[in-house]
Copies of this chain bind each other. A is one copy, B any other.
């Protein structure tokens, strides 16, 4: 019942091949027939079936987007923004995204994306850390991969990454410039490249500026980087390192948790403790006081990932490319200028 190329061909009194060529804006067709066909197309409101096209072209024009539901459901909607960025760009490029979230209790059989084996995607974007099995499966099927915000340390991969190191430097410099010297770093697993990058930015800046780096000021015992763990990390800092005047948190979620702990202790931010975050999450505007942080262009990460994927798809040869997305400091009200120096 739905409209097909035959209907258009019949009505325009041409062959289906001609219609097909016109739809592809092929030059070989005379302007006259082209106009005739186009008029019918418009009148009938015809669009070639993506599925039929996909079959003959052997390309689905879909891109898989894989991330853990844990990441997606985070209180701070960081990955949501990345995902939406990719979605916007996909639409611009006339691709569709097939989202696949991975549950915490990953089961290889049950949770490997169907779209891989069913040849329903041309490539897949992986946001954040996912089980290695998924990556292997995609590679076995010879599909191009673009990583966003996380890239396996081993192997040659295409990826869109945050300039974590530079962000760490900027945050630390900002605190230093405001007279802070005893700066704590709170974060989760230092093995994670993002956290490590941010930490290295902090550490190296301290050393460059001739401020002694004190490992006691570094709290990275927490497994996760949530508001809860930020709360705990702040407790560690305040109870054992009372000289600390500022905290650089590896992300906003932990910074928000830390602020909560500080407030619960009857102290005030920034009067009694300065704090700077990383990510510039939605909630950072609404904290009390608003959180000074390193802005990560989340939509842009997603957009760049999609662009990179399309680029990879265009050139037939396998190649890898890394895109580093810049960050910038957003000055709000959680850092105080220290007079005593």
Cα(A55)–Cα(B120), bound, Å? 13
Contact B84 A50 (CB under 8 A): no
Q: A77-B80, A84-B73, A84-B101 are in contact. Are A47 and B117 (CB under 8 A)?
A: yes
Query: Nearest CB to that of A69 among chain B residues?
Result: B84
What class of interface size applies to chain A in its complex with B? 35 or more
Interface bits A17-48 vs B (CB < 8 Å: 1, else 0): 00000000000000000000000000001111
Contact A120 B75 (CB under 8 A): no
Measured between beta carbons, the chain B residues less than 8 angstroms from A99 are: 87, 97, 99
Least Cβ distance of A49 to chain B in Å? 5
Q: Is the CB of A72 closer than 8 A to any CB of chain B?
A: yes
Contact A88 B101 (CB under 8 A): yes
Interface bits A59-87 vs B (CB < 8 Å: 1, else 0): 01000000001001101010011001001
Q: A77-B80, A80-B80, A98-B96 are in contact. Are A50 and B87 (CB under 8 A)?
A: no
Least Cβ distance of A261 to chain B in Å? 13
Query: Nearest CB to that of A116 among chain B residues?
Result: B47
Which one of B55, B96, B100, B283 contacts A55 once the chains associate, using CB atoms below 8 Å?
B55
Measured between beta carbons, the chain B residues less than 8 angstroms from A256 are: 286
Interface bits A203-240 vs B (CB < 8 Å: 1, else 0): 00000000000000000000000010000000000000
Q: Is the CB of A2 closer than 8 A to any CB of chain B?
A: yes
Q: Is the CB of A91 closer than 8 A to any CB of chain B?
A: yes
Contact B51 A119 (CB under 8 A): yes
Cα(A115)–Cα(B54), bound, Å? 13
Cα(A48)–Cα(B55), bound, Å? 12
Which one of B55, B96, B118 contacts A115 once the chains associate, using CB atoms below 8 Å?
B96
Cα(A1)–Cα(B143), bound, Å? 12
Least Cβ distance of A229 to chain B in Å? 14
Measured between beta carbons, the chain B residues less than 8 angstroms from A2 are: 119, 141
Query: Nearest CB to that of A73 among chain B residues?
Result: B84
Measured between beta carbons, the chain B residues less than 8 angstroms from A98 are: 96-98
Q: A73-B84, A101-B88 are in contact. Are A120 and B286 (CB under 8 A)?
A: no
Contact B87 A45 (CB under 8 A): no
Contact B87 A49 (CB under 8 A): no
Q: Is the CB of A282 closer than 8 A to any CB of chain B?
A: yes
Least Cβ distance of A184 to chain B in Å? 23
Q: Is the CB of A317 closer than 8 A to any CB of chain B?
A: no
Q: Is the CB of A311 closer than 8 A to any CB of chain B?
A: no
Contact B119 A49 (CB under 8 A): yes
Given A2-B141, A50-B119, A77-B80, 19 further pairs, Cβ under 8 A: A2-B119, A47-B117, A50-B118, A50-B120, A51-B51, A51-B54, A51-B55, A55-B55, A69-B84, A69-B88, A72-B80, A72-B84, A73-B84, A77-B77, A87-B101, A96-B115, A256-B286, A260-B286, A283-B283
Which positions in A face B, CB cutoff 8 Å? 1-2, 45-52, 54-55, 60, 69, 72-73, 75, 77, 80-81, 84, 87-88, 91, 94, 96-101, 114-115, 117-120, 141-142, 227, 256, 260, 282-283, 286
What are the 8 tightest A-B residue pairs by CB atom distance, in nearest-first order? A47-B117, A50-B118, A51-B54, A50-B120, A49-B119, A77-B77, A96-B98, A51-B55
